[in-house]
Structure 1
Amino acid sequence: MKHLIIGTAGHVDHGKTALVKAMTGIDTDRLKEEKDRGISIELGFASLSLPSGRRAGIVDVPGHERFIKNMLAGAGGFDLVLLVIAADEGVMPQTREHLDIIQLLQVKKGIVVITKSDLVDEEWLELVKEEIGDFLKGTVLEDAPVAVVSSLTGKGIKELLKLIDEVAEATQARLCAGAPRLPVDRVFSITGFGTVVTGTMVSGMLRVGDAVEIQPQGLTSRVRSLQVHGEKVEVAKAGQRVAVNLAGLEVDQLERGSVVAGPKSVFPSQRIDVRLVLLKSAARPLKNRARVRLYLGTRETLGRVILLDREELEPGFWAYAQIELEEKTVAVRGDHFVIRSYSPMQTIGGGTVIDPLPGRKHKRYRKEVLDALAMCEKGAPEEVVEHYLLSCRGLKEADEIVSATSLRSDEVLKAVNELTSAGKLKTITGDGRIYLVSMDIYRQWADEIEKLLTGYHRDYPLREGYPKEELRSRRFQALSSKAFQLLLAEMERDGLLKLTSQAVALSSFTPGPNPEMEKKVKIIFDIFGKASFQPPSWEEICRETGMDETDGTELLQYLIRTGDIVKVGEALYFKSDILKKAREKVAAYLGEKGEITVGEMRDLLQTSRKYALPLLEFFDRERVTRRVGDKRFPGRALE
């Protein structure tokens, strides 16, 4: 059975709350101030049983102009709207503003309900119907059926319920596929249960025990329990009014406008790309960088509109824009929104989210930017996926693409297969996951790395390659260390480069000295050979060979990596074959004597204590020897 949310709309005191009570028996005005003033201030909620047995949720919104933001917090979840117009007053200012909001949010199914029919005669009623017909021309409710009722006498209520049932049957249900998403419109605490939030499930399903995230706060929680229409359930589905008991959170951590969603399914942003429409009724053009109030889901946020192809937007026209927000919000591609002027607060326009996570600020008056937005708005799934991967310039998993593009999982998987077959997508597997990147971006990265490595090898021919983390932090900061390692591994598999534990090099590169440096290496080896067990310091070698500090350090590190030179102690280096001889002598001595002292080591190698002690300490570390007091005995390496 499909699940639907029915919302009311209309001018203050036109009988919306009385109508809901006549249909459901529930008074949705719950606040003392609402009772005292006789008007709705906050959102009201009720459940409605229809003649077919279908149950729907009703959201009763305030009609007073001062509480439009509260109305907007509920209107985003409507599947079907009851536009309420009092027979004794007809179309009024908030009737017009509410219809503008319905139009902007694209609530396409609705019924016009003429209330208070007991206050007028038939002739007046016909005039009101005629006025309403003219008023609705050219709007989403132009062909909506009309019902005439009196909540006071009950006249027409049964007929209205039957009509709602018929329209509900023709109303498309929300998809339960995809990640769960519930924009929060109320937050409160219940003794013994803790924090509870309510809202309309706009997609997916929630189950008791599910892990969830609350954005844009970035909180994590678990679904402790669920209620739909006041009854406990194990599963809540898209299209239902849901109360969610969240574990481990306090009331003051959440607010109206928060979104309860599946883990890593939505991400907060302070920038969104949109198709923006300015209402014909707007009092003036909207200028570039105008400050506005954005209403998206249940959240109100201030922001500035950046018009991408003009200096101002005329009433009745549309444009592509980027809205820079003053606070983070959560959006999904295809979401509808409303904007109101900053001051005075009037509904002036709205539109559709094209890209909820644009990677950067757009430059204005750029054809490629406008073309990309047009494609992202209207393109086929494979075009949308390709554009997203081109624009984000990163490695993404399929579920991240689903979240960012609002495509269904099956659409994304099909698009990925088509793009991969066409050679437009690179698949990288690692850590038990599959990552995707645009082939164009992959090639750009490969070219950039090749150029960097070519220059690096020229400047540092003795080094094994560019340090991995330095390369990432300088040129690929947007990629995590893990993602960068996977990228490099894929490029190595493609034969584009080779890796060591710490460095990256071109596949054709072999570190080594040039001919001039080779001559110096030969001289250095001769010096070490003649010095035997009393090697000079590296600084002395640099002076003797005419090397400066930089070249000397580079060569020393190279010779250590190749194993030709071994660091024995602080500023003490031995040529590897000399060190091997020392080890053989010590091993033979221990084999004969069973132990050795520093003095005996000195005499054995015909050196001084300056070299004998560091050599023994080195052999201790290598487990050639084992120190006990002032003596050394055979270590594990000799056993």
Structure 2
Amino acid sequence: MHVVVTAGHVDHGKSTLVRALTGTDPDRLPEEHRRGLTIELGYAWTTLPGTGEVAFVDVPGHERFVPTTLAGIGPVPVALLVVAADDPWMPQAAEHLAALDALEVSHAVVAVTRSDLADPRPAVARAGAEVARTSLAGAPVVPVSARAGAGLGELRAALIAVLDRIPGQDPDADVRLWVDRRFTVKGAGTVVTGTLPAGRVAAGRKLTHPGGTVRVRAVQSLGREVAEATGVARVALNVTGDVDGLERGTPLLTPGAWWQAGVVDVRLRAVRGAEHPPERPILHVGATAVAVHHRPLGEDGATWLARLSLDRPLPLRVGDRALLRDPGDRALWGVTVLDPAPPELRRRGAGGRRAAVLRGVDGRPDPAGEIARREVVTTSFLRRIGTPTTDPAAIGVLAGNVVVSPERADRAAADAERLVREHDGAAPLDPGVPTAALADRLCLPEPAVRALLRPPLQLRDGRVTSDQRATGLPERVEAALSALDADFAVAPFVAPTADRLRELGLDEPALAAAARAGRVLRPAPGVVLAADADQRALTELAALPQPFTTSEARAQLGTSRRAVLPLLDHLDRQRLTRRLPDDRREVRGPGG
């Protein structure tokens, strides 16, 4: 399906032309028929040969209904600009054209209506000249008379040619449907309508909005119920759930897929009226409008860089097109979203520095640039702001869902090596730094720290150590361990007493360092044995009749219950022995 929005001055025949093209009257309100003008958004549709179904969104042309007009124009990629042959170039035609230009709509047809009432050539020339200065440049200009039927064939051909150039949309894209109407149908409940620009909606699917979650009960497109609809399409959704707060401008979204932007950095382009926006303009995006605070950041050629603080968050992505409007003098500016989640500006001169960064951003999705600027992001965040990447590891250091820029990873790796060296120098008996502590010092997630470790750093038992660190222990500890080795040579399975350890100067840090260095075995707190006591014990225990009791093991090893119990538990944990239900044990054979 294709969706086309009308635009043009009031009473220039937009609705009449849509009725002539589709056979359906887009004006649906009695007041619209009584007054002869469009007040609300109207809809009609037809089928064009070779192109398929085409839906028309008919917008009001009166200046009093500009917000409604912009709600209809916002989500639609193709325009039908209507001007009358028997009228001069009118203010609303100029404003609608400026709005289309601000949104950078480039696919359009211009219809010069009432060509049976006046020579259309002056209007054709004027419309062509006006359009040539905008994003619609090159749009065909077709004289037509809706009432007489003249030129309708040529207009349909022009529409077909334009629509055939429209690129297809991704049916698997995330849904962002701006509601433009809400009403209640007896027996069905709440129904909302809107233009689906991409993605798909289907019965049973859940969508979120600022007020909660709704479930789609049924989908209609072009007046008939369908199993699903894919963008671009006009759709009506029968929804249930959190329907309070659903109104024009409410976005219905794929759950969890969109960043809710309260502050955005943008590029502005003046298209009508004043050069610079006021401090409190209105932002129009999709079918919604929200007041914003405008903070200029700096110039960039013929455009301006600015920060907009929204009165309420909206789901925005990099590259979104919108427009700013001064409600006082009707000036318009085109908006391109550069960053929907910008950093805070805290220090003096921060605005100028931010402008320098944004001058290199053009609004096209750039995952590598986003990772480089933000340094640490998640892949889900990149998707939510509109810059997904299929291969994050190719443009950064990937750790689970976290991506670290190469530059940040290089700095963090150097800082990690320095911190580990400093720690080892200050605490020789406590080598290495716990990864959680190192992550805190580096201001990085712990998985990212583990992923960026490079030689000489390595991860051992939850601590980051350096393989260049001297493997020897301090001399006083070495001397104490030598004395302890002499004790073990006589009785390898006898644990020294606390008094003996104190006499040798082996406190808890020294013993922990000795255990990490593999110089002693500590099967339990307070129990110290020779480093190879477990292997030697296994040989001794294998000589016993199997299975054996704890008392038999203690006698075979010539040690006390204080030592043999934790030693046997250690052998069980190492799967060298097997504890039986009657508390006897047996030595496991090869393969255990």
Same fold judged by TM-score > 0.5? yes
Deviations 1:309-334 (A, max 9, x none): 27xx9xx9631123343444333443
Show the 5 A alignment for 1:213-612: 228-231=221-224, 238-242=231-235, 251-252=243-244, 256-258=249-251, 260=253, 267-282=259-274, 285-286=276-277, 290-309=279-298, 318-341=303-326, 344=328, 346-358=330-342, 369-377=354-362, 384=366, 386-394=368-376, 404-405=386-387, 439-463=406-430, 465-477=432-444, 479=445, 481=447, 485=450, 487-488=451-452, 492=454, 495=455, 497-500=457-460, 502-509=462-469, 512-522=472-482, 533=494, 535-537=496-498, 544=503, 552-576=507-531, 591=545, 595=549, 597=551, 601=554, 605=558
**Corresponding position of 1:634:** 585
Deviation at 1:571, TM superposition (A): 4.0
Range 74-83 or range 194-203, more displaced: 194-203
Q: Quote the Cα distance in structure 1 between the aligned partners of 2:578 and 2:178.
A: 74
Range 231-240 or range 207-216, more displaced: 207-216
Show the 5 A alignment for 1:115-134: 122=118
Normalised TM-score (structure 2): 0.75
Unaligned stretches of 5+ in structure 1?
none
**CA contact 1:5–1:77 (8 Å) conserved in 2:** no
**CA contact 1:296–1:331 (8 Å) conserved in 2:** no
Paired amino acid for 1:297: G
Q: Quote the Cα distance in structure 2 between the aligned partners of 1:436 and 1:592.
A: 55
Range 505-514 or range 29-38, more displaced: 29-38
**CA contact 2:211–2:242 (8 Å) conserved in 1:** no
**Corresponding position of 2:56:** 58
Unaligned stretches of 5+ in structure 2?
none
Paired amino acid for 2:585: P
**CA contact 1:498–1:506 (8 Å) conserved in 2:** yes
**CA contact 1:113–1:147 (8 Å) conserved in 2:** yes
| Structure 1 residues 8 and 452, CA gap change in structure 2 (3 angstroms) | same
Range 555-564 or range 524-533, more displaced: 524-533
3-state secondary structure, aligned to 1:498: strand
| Structure 1 residues 389 and 250, CA gap change in structure 2 (3 angstroms) | same
Q: Quote the Cα distance in structure 1 between the aligned partners of 2:229 and 2:266.
A: 30
Show the 5 A alignment for 1:128-143: 138-140=133-135
**CA contact 1:528–1:536 (8 Å) conserved in 2:** no
- Count how many residue pairs are aligned between Structure 1 and Structure 2: 583
Deviations 1:458-500 (A, max 9, x none): 33444463333443354253x573x555x34xx55xx563333
**Corresponding position of 2:197:** 202
| Structure 1 residues 93 and 280, CA gap change in structure 2 (3 angstroms) | closer
Q: Quote the Cα distance in structure 1 between the aligned partners of 2:522 and 2:109.
A: 86
| Structure 1 residues 336 and 190, CA gap change in structure 2 (3 angstroms) | same
Q: Quote the Cα distance in structure 2 between the aligned partners of 1:126 and 1:556.
A: 99
| Structure 1 residues 199 and 457, CA gap change in structure 2 (3 angstroms) | farther
3-state secondary structure, aligned to 2:362: helix
| Structure 1 residues 616 and 149, CA gap change in structure 2 (3 angstroms) | closer
Paired amino acid for 2:282: R
Return the structure number with greater helix share. 1
| Structure 1 residues 197 and 511, CA gap change in structure 2 (3 angstroms) | farther
Deviation at 1:128, TM superposition (A): 7.6
Q: Quote the Cα distance in structure 2 between the aligned partners of 1:63 and 1:338.
A: 18
Q: Quote the Cα distance in structure 2 between the aligned partners of 1:453 and 1:292.
A: 53
| Structure 1 residues 136 and 75, CA gap change in structure 2 (3 angstroms) | same
**CA contact 2:171–2:230 (8 Å) conserved in 1:** no
3-state secondary structure, aligned to 1:286: coil
Deviations 1:478-532 (A, max 9, x none): x573x555x34xx55xx56333352333353465523344334445656778997
Deviation at 1:336, TM superposition (A): 1.7
**CA contact 1:461–1:512 (8 Å) conserved in 2:** no
Q: Quote the Cα distance in structure 2 between the aligned partners of 1:190 and 1:560.
A: 76
Deviations 1:46-70 (A, max 9, x none): 2133467653221112345554333
Cα RMSD after superposing both structures? 5.3
Paired amino acid for 2:303: W
Q: Quote the Cα distance in structure 2 between the aligned partners of 1:541 and 1:166.
A: 100
Q: Quote the Cα distance in structure 2 between the aligned partners of 1:147 and 1:426.
A: 49
Deviations 1:121-153 (A, max 9, x none): 749x999889878876844567766566666xx
Deviation at 1:594, TM superposition (A): 5.2
| Structure 1 residues 476 and 234, CA gap change in structure 2 (3 angstroms) | farther
Q: Quote the Cα distance in structure 2 between the aligned partners of 1:445 and 1:219.
A: 41
Determine if the alignment matches structure 1 residue 163 to structure 2 residue 158: no
Deviations 1:185-227 (A, max 9, x none): 3367879989876543435x64869989757899798x98765
Paired amino acid for 1:351: V
Q: Quote the Cα distance in structure 2 between the aligned partners of 1:294 and 1:73.
A: 11
| Structure 1 residues 297 and 593, CA gap change in structure 2 (3 angstroms) | closer
Deviation at 1:377, TM superposition (A): 1.4
